[in-house]
Structure 1
Amino acid sequence: MKYVIGVDLGTSAVKIILVNQHGAVVQQVSKDYPLIQEKSGYSEQNPQAWLDQTVAGLSELLMDFDGNREDIEGISFSGQMHGLVLLDKNHDVLRNAILWNDTRTTAECQEITETIGKERLLEITKNPALEGFTLPKILWVKKHEPEIFQQVATFVLPKDYVRYRLTGKLQMEYSDAAGTLLLHVSEKTWSTYICKELDIPLDICPPLVESCNEVGVISADMAKITGLSPKTRVFAGGADNACGAIGAGILEEGKTLCSIGTSGVILSYESRDDLDFEGKVHYFNHGAPNSYYSMGVTLAAGHSLSWFKDTFAKDVTFEDLLEDAGSVPIGSNGLLFTPFITGERTPYADAEIRASFIGIDSSHTRKHFVRAVMEGITFSLNESVHIFRQKGREIHSIVSIGGGAKDDVWLQIQAEVFNAEVIKLSSEQGPGMGAAMIAAYGCGWFESLKNCADHFLQVKKVFTPIPENVKKYQSLFSIYQDIYIATKNINKKLVDFRL
């Protein structure tokens, strides 16, 4: 039996899966690492922590593997998007990585928009300038840490750094490059125009490759440390959302994905590069060859729920927490939650907005708050579904992955808020499975990624919306949308009081 490995470098942990030729996950390992949050709006990580935990996870995986290590033919990577890793001429890390959920770069986003122009920026990058993207982070370092910027020889994104350390080869692939705000998405080249206008040296942009390209093999040193064969073929991989789409079979027109991890996304496959969403949702290169995807983002999806648990229910398991919420009626007895704890992306692109519980009274207990958090996250994701439908996209079924796909109550909430069938897969590994599928395709096991998906992915359960519940949620969603408008100015006034 032959195998491939999928490495998913997330925000809170690296998850590694070993997958056989039938698409079965035969082993899996997860290793945590910390966030560094020095002040409100800041979010960083030490890239060495990613490497250390990835190596530890691979070593643990191989320690328990009773087959021939040379039967593990390939490895590929999924990774958190946008994070800035700055390297010097020796490819040593210059500072902590600034992550996707860091919101310190509002001024830099304004500079980008004013210098390039909103329409020109959308024409080149397909996306507006938002705090999460990589380019604003580069400009922030240039402005606030000039002594570091002077040493920059190149930059990479999180998974690309880990892959470099495992192979000694440095590249960036298109699905992650599309999230930097420096890539000409249609032409698949770094934008010389943007670099010139913003005085960013073009030569700090790394070489570009396709997601499915073989980019090297495991280095001899890393083979010794991890137990992998030095013959193990390494494939570039993709951004977490691109890999999540691959791992859920979102590989043809009409396919839509809901992914709830730390952040949350609604993602739709696109075969064209010329659709105009007016910057309301993101438009990126897919990990599948010659394709794209459009995507709306909730910045704090699963993060909102984990924040609530850590703050108010530390000794309760997630399973028990969500099970209690199942006994609460739709609307949580008049309690609504907006998941803006780190700002919001789609559709508001507002780094200053913060979360709210609206409608609290003395009848509410913890389970009502949990249900409200689950519903609020789903309402936020429905903002993106709403935009897609307004643009003529027909959405009748949605594949749900991530933490939100582990609980049947939440999946039913999704079906009724989205007013669509929600599909739960038999083996839901999300981005890690997508990375493994890239490796399987790269190793020649299948003629295409779609062919791989047909072999690897199976439907476990379908959740169908109940019409009367859909009507209730449509009324609640309208009220939910009013909360942003009502609290926007209040949150602006509170900014000066945040530490």
Structure 2
Amino acid sequence: MDSSTERQCQQLENYVGGDKRMAEITGSRAHHRFSGAQIMKIVNEEKDVWMETERVSLISSFFASLLIGKYAPIDLTDGSGMNLMNIETEKWEQSLLDFIFPGLENKLGELVSPMTSIDTVHSYWTHRFGIPKDCMILPFLGDNPSSLAGLSLLPTDIGISLGTSDTVFFFSPTFKPNTDAHVFSHFAPNSGYMAMICFKNGSLTRERARKMNGSSWEKWNEIMEKTPVGNDGFIGFFFDEDEIVPRKLKGDYTFEMDEKELKEKSPEKFARAVFESQCFFKHLYTQKMGFKKSQSSRILVTGGASRNTVLLQMLSDVFEMSVYTIEVDGSAALGGAMRARYLHSKTPLKYSEYYPCDNVSLACNPIPENVQTYRTLFSTTFKNRFDAFITE
């Protein structure tokens, strides 16, 4: 991952008054890969290239440009992931643009709603591939928001993608910034915001726990049954790579237990601690980001580890919500098609009403005795340990 823009990120945050203020304005603290810092690096280090640059596009808007034969505008959803847009006004934050380069707005172009037609397809595509000349083109979205459109989560749902990195996402009617997460403008009108939290350490850390116990995933239940729910109160934090949520260096933080003794004499205790701490972190940050649970709330899980029944049950017990699995191939491409169909229908229904998320399978429900154990452990030991950990 490109981290060459660290200096520019610091400059941008210092300019607005810190990382918290940047998140309040743009929805995220300054990030290395976001366009604001990347543009600033070109302005600072490759002035000649910058002065010859006519237009700045995102990958999403560039692909839309190819279809309409001219520069396509950046949509509000992707625009909110650049550290350049005021997420509440949904306009470019002029002071940031001017700080990077006076006149930057002219190179960025206008911001448009994701749910509007930007033009019809260029004649090249009609002549070359027979696409009807009146085919409307919508603004393209990035992979994450377009995948959310494809999954069609309900406003009361939490989506969790379990992979090399674990990602938690949900919709929120109100804007609640957090420096450890991202908030984006919603792709559908009058639908609030999209919150996304990415945990860098996911399946690889779980895989390490499996190997340490010499088990297969098919027999993982047997390993978990060697330790009680709640792990006798033991909690650790485990990062195979430098973590971004929270921002901590890689390492196994076992606190009151000797790390070597834990791994050599109690590998099953280590394994449970890995799984439970990952679930607790996800629960904690959904709370921090303002998720409001209701009677109809569900967790929808996708990704490679969504077949791990132990992990799904643990998520259900920690969140106190039913867990469903959802399998959608090519969810980002599907999301684009679903948005196009939704716009073309001219329906008065909200996106979540037009596309009710019902192509799911129930995986598990919370187990009452486990819920009580986790509720107590989370609200006391875990939160206290976490608060002390982040201030070290």
Quickly name the TM-score band, shorter chain normalised: 0.7 to 0.9
Letter in 1 for 2:250: R
Question: What letter is aligned with 1:210?
Answer: S
SS in 2 for 1:450: helix
Distance 1:121 1:357, change over 3 A: closer
Deviation at 1:177, TM superposition (A): 0.4
Is contact 1:108-1:140 (8 Å) kept?
yes
The aligned counterpart of 1:209 is 112
Question: What are the superposed Cα offsets for residues 315-348 of structure 1, whole Å, 9 maximum, x if unpaired?
Answer: xxxxx95434333215789785534624314xx3
1:406–1:191 Cα change, 3 Å: same
Q: Distance in 1 between matches of 2:367 and 2:314?
A: 10
Distance 1:207 1:151 in 2: 20
1:77-476 residue pairs with structure 2 within 5 A? Answer: 102-118=2-18, 121-169=22-70, 170-199=72-101, 201-217=104-120, 219=122, 229=131, 231=133, 232-252=135-155, 254-261=156-163, 263-272=165-174, 275-277=175-177, 279=179, 281-300=181-200, 304-305=202-203, 322-329=217-224, 330=229, 336=236, 338-339=238-239, 341-345=241-245, 348=246, 350=247, 353-356=249-252, 358=254, 359=259, 360-363=262-265, 374-388=275-289, 393-394=292-293, 397-403=297-303, 404-425=305-326, 430-444=331-345, 446-448=347-349, 449-454=351-356, 457-461=358-362, 463-474=364-375
Matched position secondary structure for 1:399: strand
Q: Distance in 1 between matches of 2:166 and 2:177?
A: 19
Unaligned 5+ segments in structure 2 are: none
TM-score by length of 2: 0.75
1:277 deviates by 4.2
| 1:461 to partner: Cα distance | 0.9
Distance, in Å, in 2 between the alignment partners of 1:299 and 1:224 is: 46
SS in 2 for 1:138: helix
Q: Could you tell me how far 1:195 is from its partner in structure 2?
A: 0.9
3-state SS, counterpart of residue 238 of structure 1: coil
C-alpha distance in structure 2 between counterparts of 1:146 and 1:340, whole Å: 39
For the Cα contact (< 8 Å) 1:325–1:370, is it kept in 2? no
Secondary structure of the 1:155 match is: coil
CA distance in 1, matches of 2:35, 2:97: 13
**Residue pair 1:338, 1:380 contacting (<8 A) in 2 also:** no
Matched, 1:482 2:378: no
Shift of 1:418: 2.0
Q: Find the residue that maps to 2:190 and give its secondary structure.
A: coil
Deviation at residue 230 of structure 1 after TM alignment: 5.0
Q: Which has the higher helix share?
A: 2
Conserved 8 A contact 1:299-1:340: no
Q: Which residue of 2 aligns with 1:60?
A: none
Q: Judge conservation of contact 1:299–1:343 (CA < 8 Å) in 2.
A: yes
Distance in structure 2 (CA, Å) of the matches to 1:151 and 1:368: 59
**Structure 1: how far apart are the matches of 2:238 and 2:109?**
38
Q: 1:355 to 1:155 in 2, by over 3 A?
A: farther
Kindly provide the CA deviation profile for residues 78-120 of structure 1, in whole angstroms up to 9, marking residues without a partner as x: xxxxxxxxxxxxxxxxxxxxxxxx4443332221122122476
Q: For 1:461, what is the secondary structure of its paired residue? A: strand
Retained in 2: the 8 A contact 1:412–1:464? yes
Residue 240 of structure 1 deviates from its aligned partner by: 3.7
Q: Tell me what 1:80 maps to.
A: none
Deviation at 1:210, TM superposition (A): 1.5
Matched-pair identity in %: 20
RMSD: 4.0
Distance 1:221 1:376 in 2: 54
Q: Give, as a single letter, the amino acid of the residue that structure 2 aligns with 1:305.
A: S
Residues of 2 paired with 1:424 and 1:222: CA distance?
A: 38
Measure the CA separation in 1 of the matches of 2:365 and 2:264.
Answer: 34
How far the C-alpha of 1:278 sits from its partner, in A, is 5.8
Aligned-residue offset at 1:460:
1.9
Contact 1:267–1:296, Cα closer than 8 Å, also in 2: yes
- Give, as a single letter, the amino acid of the residue that structure 2 aligns with 1:208: L
Q: Give me the whole-angstrom Cα distance separating, in 2, the residues matched to 1:481 and 1:392.
A: 21
In structure 2, the residue corresponding to 1:297 is in which secondary structure?
strand
Q: State the secondary structure of the residue aligned to 1:362.
A: helix
Residues 135 and 167 of structure 1, relative CA distance in 2, 3 Å threshold: same
- Taking a change above 3 Å as real, the CA distance of residues 458 and 488 of structure 1, as seen in their structure-2 partners, is same
Q: Tell me, in whole angstroms, the C-alpha distance in 2 between the residues paired with 1:294 and 1:238.
A: 13
For residues 487 and 451 of structure 1, do their structure 2 counterparts lie closer, same or farther at Cα, with a shift above 3 Å needed?
A: closer
- What is the CA distance between 1:287 and its match in structure 2? 0.5
Match of 1:37 in 2: none
Whole-angstrom distance in 1 between the partners of 2:130 and 2:235 = 52
Q: One-letter code of the match for 2:83?
A: L
Number of positions where the alignment pairs a residue of Structure 1 with one of Structure 2: 370
